[in-house]
Chain A
Amino acid sequence: MNATAKAISEPVAEFAIRTSKLNLWYGTFQALFDVDLNICNGMITSLIGPSGCGKSTLLRSVNRINERLGYVRIEGNIEVMDKNIYDPDVELVQVRKQIGMVFQRPNPLPISIRDNILFGHRIHNKGDKSSKSDQNEIVESALKQVLLLDKVKDRLNQRGTELSLEEQQKLCIARLLPVKPSVLLMDEPCSALDPKGTAAVEELIWELRGEYTILIVTHNMAQARRASEECIFMLMGKVVEHQATEDLFVTPEQKETADYIEGRYG
């Protein structure tokens, strides 16, 4: 597993996310078992597996939203950029800033497209009175990165909730970018979209690789194959296999993986 080329001058973590012996319980029900993962920096890694195997659970522990549920208990480590995010000196707001999340259902805020994109920026830069033109630049560059600029540049004051689902999902990705996260977590980001929207969002995710580490949950095997560089197969709360996507689909090492990608688990 070679990480993407990195500049020699600045030491960059080889792995953006590392979990070791990660166990998670919802009350008494154990949802994750000894998950050891090394997610390469700057790559797109997809997470596949049958329904209920713990994909969302894993994703949601990487930005610590699971702990909002009072009955969740976690053991083990999750390091993001070489820092254990469960350390006591870690500020939750900083975790959320570093690690953006995209949901299955696009959830733009009921404010203008422009304000949607500036929302995170404003929260994390209190008191910093960036000028109107700076803000315009932020909005423009975020929209450009998600390939949405041409479509909406004339109606930035329209509500984000009035866009099509595909555009909404792109907007939800765009609004994460101004605070410069290092990791983007996506939980089935295309499953509410039609095939055309799916293709468009996939294309966008592919464009973002290199700049962000992307961990994407999908039910769509073809999508995992098309739009990710590495792939993780999970089953019943355990990681079964983690390989370069091409290898995992062509020559899976585990029998369960082979069964799953041939459609024997549904």
Chain B
Amino acid sequence: MFAESALNVRNKRVQNLFRILFLMMTVLLIIPVVIILATLIAKGGSIISIDFLFTDPTNGMTAGGIFPALLGTVWIVAVALLASVPLGVAAAIYLNEYAGDNWFTRIIQLAIINLAGVPSIVHALFGVGAFVIFFGFGTSILAASLTLAIMTLPVVIVSTRESLRAVPQAFREACWNMGATRWQTIRRVVLPNAVSGILTGVILEVSRTTGETAPIMFTGAAFFLPFLPQGVFDQTMALSLHLFVVATQVPGVPDNLAFGVALVLIAMVLLMNSISIAFRMYLRGKKKW
């Protein structure tokens, strides 16, 4: 009665076929990552050293280190975060916790989605028009960071909303029914339970911001600067642009230097992503409901 029928056999074969197919697709997915990393390490790994990270470029950028670019990237990313995180989180809290579902919020949603779809070169030109010229910040860290901030704002808003939405409605109801105001509910219950997700989103934003080139090359990043930035109104070098420059614009750059810069950039991004994933797993393990 329980013996295998011909149909069972056929179903099983089809089922195996699809399993293998999907597995292969998945493997395909990681091949480029592996190849990129392997190439970078093979060709650029030899140059990586403490000195490389912490000295200035020399000989018209064909030798020496990458310190000004590294520092510049940290500057740009930090200022961009300072601008976009408070704004994005506040907007997400408003949309998720206060706003009802009406035409106003729907228009805002639409705007956010569209903002996410704008190509980065368009953001760059907007940044030039708005921050460099109109607000008179000149080509500076501030202008570059604000441009990046606007570009990554949708990411922050969407990821923050997701984490707010993941907080069970029952918690809010419990608070409201004890007479807590919306704000008390948000501060004491919603935010503490959403903060892990919000931070994960922020770290992902950092990793995205780190690698962007187009939005900063017209607004604040310079090809080469003989000095380090002293404040947000200075220009700066940046890692992503530096890579572009040494790889394509300067003759006579040794291969391992260009690949070394790329390796550092990728390492920073991967590090951020890993931190974000580890952090999420850690907090998910702690959470219980």
List residues of A whose CB falls within 8 A of some B CB: 63, 65, 68, 70, 92-97, 100-101, 103, 105, 107-111, 119-120, 123-124, 159, 161-162, 172, 175-176, 179
Interface CB pairs A-B, < 8 A, 23: A65-B176, A65-B177, A96-B176, A96-B177, A96-B179, A97-B179, A100-B178, A101-B177, A103-B170, A107-B170, A107-B173, A107-B174, A109-B175, A109-B189, A110-B189, A110-B287, A119-B175, A119-B178, A120-B179, A123-B179, A123-B180, A161-B289, A179-B179
Interchain nearest-CB distance for A68 vs B (Å): 8
CB within 8 A of A70: which of B100, B170, B179, B184?
B100
Interface string of B182-218 (1 = CB under 8 A from A): 0010001100110000000000000000000000000
Residues of B within 8 A of A105 (CB): 170
Across chains A and B, the number of contacting residue pairs, with CB separation under 8 Å, is 59
A96 touches B178 (CB 8 A): yes
| A135 to B: closest C-beta gap in Å | 16
- Minimum C-beta distance from A87 to chain B (A): 17
How would residues 261 to 289 of chain B score, 1 for a CB under 8 Å from any chain A CB and 0 otherwise? 00000000000000000000000000111
* Residue pair B176, A110 in contact (C-beta under 8 Å): no
Instruction: Pick the contact of A179: B170, B178, B188, B193 (CB < 8 A).
Output: B178
Q: How far is the CA of A101 from the CA of B171 in the complex (A)?
A: 13
Bound form: Cα–Cα A110–B193 in Å: 8
Chain A residues with Cβ under 8 A from B192's Cβ?
Answer: 111
Identify 15 new A-B residue pairs, CB closer than 8 A, beyond the known A97-B178, A162-B288: A63-B177, A65-B176, A70-B100, A93-B181, A96-B178, A96-B179, A97-B179, A101-B177, A107-B174, A110-B171, A110-B189, A120-B178, A161-B289, A175-B178, A179-B178
Q: Is the CB of B173 within 8 A of A103?
A: yes
* Distance of A170 Cα from B184 Cα, bound (Å): 24
Interface size class of B (residues with CB under 8 A): 20 to 34
Contact partners of A92 in chain B: CB under 8 A: 179
Q: Which residues of B contact A94 (CB under 8 A)?
A: 179
List, in ascending order, chain B residues with CB within 8 A of A162's CB: 288
- Tell me, rounded to whole Å, the shortest Cβ–Cβ distance linking A167 to chain B: 15
Asked if B179 contacts A124 (CB within 8 A), the reply is: yes
CA distance A93 to B178 in the complex (A): 8
Q: A161-B288, A161-B289 are contacts. A109–B176 as well, Cβ < 8 Å? A: no
A161 to B184, CA, bound (A): 20
Given A70-B100, A123-B184, A159-B288; A109-B179 close (CB under 8 Å): no
A180 to chain B, nearest CB (A): 12
Closest chain-B Cβ to A119's Cβ sits at a distance in Å of 6
Residues of B within 8 A of A108 (CB): 174
Query: Which one of A97, A110, A175 lies within 8 Å of B289 (CB-CB)?
Result: A110
* Set of chain B residues within 8 Å of A95, measured between Cβ atoms: 179
Q: Bits for B241-255, please: 1 = Cβ < 8 Å to A, else 0.
A: 000000000000000
Given contacts A159-B288, A162-B288, whether A176 and B178 have CB atoms under 8 Å apart is: yes
Bound Cα distance from A68 to B176, whole angstroms: 10
Chain A residue contacts of B176, Cβ below 8 A? 65, 68, 96
How far apart sit A172 and B178, CA to CA, in the bound complex (Å)?
A: 11
A191 to chain B, nearest CB (A): 15
What 6 A-B pairs have minimum CB-CB distances, sorted nearest first? Answer: A96-B179, A107-B170, A120-B178, A93-B179, A107-B174, A97-B179
Check if B178 sits within 8 Å of A107, measured CB to CB.
no
Residue of A nearest to B177 (CB): A101
Q: What's the Cα separation between A111 and B174 when bound, in Å?
A: 12
Question: B100 contacts which chain A residues (CB < 8 A)?
Answer: 70
Residues of A within 8 A of B287 (CB): 110
In the bound complex, residues from chain B placing their C-beta under 8 Å from that of A103 are 170, 173
Contacts of B175 in A (CB 8 A): 109, 119
Q: State A172–B174 Cα separation when bound (angstroms).
A: 9
Bound Cα distance A70, B90 (Å): 25
Shortest Cβ distance from A172 into B: residue: B174
Minimum CB–CB distance from A232 to chain B (whole Å) comes to 22
Contacting residues, chain B, for A161 (C-beta < 8 A): 288-289
Determine the chain A residues whose CB is within 8 A of the CB of B289 once the complex forms. 110, 161
Task: Select one of B171, B181, B184 contacting A109, CB under 8 A.
Answer: B171
Enumerate chain B residues within 8 angstroms of A123, measured Cβ to Cβ.
Answer: 178-180, 184
CB neighbours of A179 from chain B (8 A): 178-179
Q: Mark B61-91, 1 if CB is under 8 A from A, else 0.
A: 0000000000000000000000000000000
* Complexed CA–CA distance, A120 and B176 (Å): 10
Contact B173 A119, beta carbon cutoff 8 Å? no
Nearest CB of B to A164, in Å: 14
In the complex, per-residue mask of B153-170: 1 if CB is within 8 Å of any chain A CB, else 0: 000000000000000001
Q: Which residue of B lies closest to A162 (CB)?
A: B288
A59 to chain B, nearest CB (A): 12
Q: Give the complex CA separation of A107 and B224 in angstroms.
A: 59
- B169 — nearest CB in chain A belongs to which residue? A107
